[in-house]
Chains A and B, each alone.
Chain A
Amino acid sequence: MRRSFAGVVALVLSAVGLGTQPTARPVVVASKPFGESYILAEMFAQLLESHGIAVDRRLGLGATQIAYGALRSGDIDVYPEYTGTGLIAILGLAPEPDARAVFARVAAASARRDSVRWLPPLGFENTYAIAVRRGTADSLHLATLTDLARAGHGLRGGFTADFIGRPDGLPGLVRTYGVQLRDVRALLPAVKYTALAAGGVDVIDGFSTDGLIARYDLVVLRDDRHFYPPYEAAAVVGRALQRVNPAAVAVLTELSDRIDETRMRALNRRLEVDGVPVAVVAADGLRALGLTPSRPGDSPAADSATALGERSSRTGGAQGRGSLAEYLRAERGPLASMTARHLLLVAVSLLAAIVIALPLGVGLTTVPRQAEGVIRTVGAIQTLPGIALLAFMIPLLGIGVVPALVALFLYSLYPILRNTYEGVRGTDSGAVDAGEALGMTPRQVMLYVRLPLATPVIMAGIRTAAVIDVGTATLAAFIGAGGLGDPIVTGLALSDTRMILSGAIPAAALALAVDTGLGVAQRMAARRWGGGRS
């Protein structure tokens, strides 16, 4: 309803010549999974909408490789990125200190290699910020990274895996400053701050514009040798949008050089410290910049901002600080539709896995020599971490529902295949022999004896696959496929426990429900084919 209203507005605007041009498909706006990225993406989206351009949001995509990969493959049109990240992590070039030179190099190389365009920077830098607790800084007299190298050997580091691996991360820090910590462990962005606050680690990597640095009262150590390259934020735009909708690109450049570091830090703090929903933070930010009309209610932008505020569990922060129960009640509409989508992802992938694995498992029983090798190969897929599997598939399948379904399908294969094979092979030999001796054809033995008797084992495999699927499907949010992973990913990004739980609890309940439901199906199947055993 709301979407169609926005569509009508867009049509009317373009008809009277106010809109930029009639857009055949919405502009796909994405972000990486941390607060600032959400805010910037939401500002892009609302700014486009205020010009009557339809937008499709894919916020919280896995990480740099997934977001940039999706941009390159054309699955998304625009997302906020940082020049230093582009230089080192995307293009694999050497760090250099001059911001202007970095932007020029990155923009040229991206355009040449990937036909990706870096719009002029937004106006602020967000560099890595090595942070410690105020108490640690005071007792060890830490103010700079040189101080950390001098006095830090007793401290424990908790960094993102990204930071530990990137040449402009920990390796560079060690090389430039000679920092040696007692212990370094990889932490998710979302748990870094709580781990530091709780004393689990002593040093973390944050972002200089982070709202959380203020929320946890941390001290940022100065990069006194200017090791970090400049990380200027900018919108990066894919090839398709440049070609199909140059007007949208022009709208996005309105933000160039408009957001300074103070402004960005204030926006981040509202989101991460005050718990204001992303859509509201972004709408207020745009209004403050004079890019959208100041009176709410009489423009498409304000309308869509309200709409977004209402379905805030996808893009928003915590609304107020009510209890989890209140939050779940308030969000029950969006949660129900995410649960439905989650279930759909699981159902479709599971069904496909059954269609493939069941006949394959049956067929393999006729070639036991080859069977073990085939089943082990399928089992090897199981050992791939979900996020890695999803990342591998981006060049082939892009982002969104299709690669998520393929990944879930691959994860479901093994339990079903293994149980079908073992179940069919292990059928009661007395019944099989009698069937053969009395004149059943091999096909009849399979259909009327082996398969029915293997049904409980096969069903157990399907149940295992289904429960694994429900859990794994939460990862689908990293590639924009939606489902209950959405609030989990967003909550992790915004360090909002309530939001994480609002996805995790229904996901757990769903796993239980799916297992119970299939258990009932299994008993019904046993009654139907299994000699009345229940």
Chain B
Amino acid sequence: MVTPDSGTISVDGARTSDLDPVALRRRIGYVPQDGGLLPHWRVRRNAALVPWLLGAADADAQADAALQLVGLDPRVFGDRWPRQLSGGQRQRVAIARALAARPHVLLLDEPFGALDAITRADLQESFRALRRSLRITAVLVTHDLREASALADRIAVLRHGRIEQVAAPDALLAAPATPYVAELLLRAGLR
């Protein structure tokens, strides 16, 4: 959706500039901050979006499986409208929708930012379990360094569009590369 100013982006070894953007997007799961569910589609149809776009005959079944994965019973939630769900449930549906076509890469843009603390912790826990069982590459954008250190294998700290440091959470905690990273850790209560 945004083209790089310089450099290249590769997904599964292929440059994105060589790929059809629409096909590429269908191969990457995406979870926006506000869920971005289509308000005029029921939960099941929302979750089935990408399989349906890919022409899968069993799109609904894939959607139900994905709903199961994120802890929502498709028999209970499948026929509901998005507006009938809580914020946390909506976000689960958004994750289910991103996962339904079983992509290798998942992109999450502050997925838990707009939720209350308890729901957020709950969802973070489910997400960690999910990622472990699915063995999927996830790029998660967050302002919350605690969230990052709790969920990530590697953290890249960005400031003004430039990378300050890339490291595993432990390494980052142990040796902040710049004063900005150190300040950030301090403010997050991680040091």
Residues in A lying within 8 Å of B, measured CB to CB:
428, 430-431, 433-441, 444, 448-449, 452-453, 529-533
Q: Given A439-B53, A531-B82, A532-B81 in contact, is the A434-B30 Cβ separation under 8 Å? A: yes
Question: Using a CB-CB cutoff of 8 Å, which residues 94-128 of chain B contact chain A?
Answer: 94, 97-98, 107
Task: Report the 10 A-B pairs with minimum CB-CB distance, sorted nearest first.
Answer: A434-B36, A439-B26, A439-B25, A531-B40, A531-B39, A437-B30, A430-B36, A452-B40, A430-B34, A532-B81
B83 at the interface (CB under 8 A from A): yes
A439 adjacent to B23 (CB under 8 Å): yes
CB<8 Å pairs between A and B, sample of 8: A431-B36, A435-B36, A437-B1, A438-B50, A438-B98, A439-B22, A440-B49, A453-B39
- Tell whether B37 is near chain A: CB-to-CB under 8 Å: yes
Contacts of A435 in B (CB 8 A): 36, 38, 49
Question: Considering the complex, which residues of chain B in the window 26-49 have a beta carbon less than 8 Å from any beta carbon of chain A?
Answer: 26-27, 30, 32, 34-41, 49
Complex Cα gap A529–B83 (Å)? 14
User: Once A and B bind, how many residue pairs between them come within 8 Å at the CB atom?
Assistant: 68
Contact, CB under 8 Å: B40 / A453: yes
Given the contacts A437-B30, A444-B53, A431 and B38 also touching, CB distance less than 8 Å: yes
Among the interface residues A439, A444, A448, which one has the most CB atoms of the partner chain B within 10 A? A439
B37 CB contacts on chain A under 8 angstroms: 431, 434
CB distance from A13 to the nearest CB of B (A): 67
Q: Is the CB of A441 within 8 A of B22?
A: yes
Tell whether, in the assembled complex, residue B26 and residue A449 are in contact, meaning their CB atoms are under 8 Å apart. Answer: no
Give the interface centre of A434, A440, A441, A532 by most chain B CB atoms within 10 Å: A434
Contact of A438 among B35, B39, B49 (CB under 8 A): B49
Q: Tell me the smallest distance from the CB of B152 to a CB of chain A, in Å.
A: 22
Chain B residue with the shortest CB-CB distance to A532 = B81
A residues within 8 A CB of B98? 438
A531 CB contacts on chain B under 8 angstroms: 38-41, 81-83
Is there contact, CB below 8 Å, between A438 and B40? Answer: no
A435 to B1, CA, bound (A): 12
> In the complex, which residue of chain A has the Cβ closest to the Cβ of B34?
A430
> Whole-angstrom distance between the alpha carbons of A515 and B128 in the complex?
54
Chain A residue at minimum C-beta to C-beta distance from B53: A439
Cα–Cα, bound, A434→B82 (Å): 14
Q: In the complex, A530 Cα to B25 Cα: how many Å?
A: 26
A427 CB, min distance to chain B CBs, angstroms: 10
Distance in angstroms between the alpha carbons of A452 and B39 in the assembled complex: 10
Shortest distance in angstroms between A465's beta carbon and chain B's nearest beta carbon?
24
CA distance A139 to B171 in the complex (A): 111
What are the residues of chain A within 8 A of B53 when measuring CB–CB?
A: 438-440, 444
| Complex: A531 Cα to B38 Cα, angstroms | 8
B residues near A437, Cβ cutoff 8 Å = 1, 25, 30, 32, 36, 107
Chain B residues, CB < 8 A from A428 = 39
19 new A-B contacts, CB < 8 A, other than A441-B22, A452-B40, are A428-B39, A431-B36, A431-B37, A431-B38, A434-B35, A434-B94, A436-B25, A437-B107, A438-B26, A438-B50, A439-B23, A439-B24, A439-B26, A439-B53, A448-B38, A453-B40, A530-B39, A530-B40, A531-B38
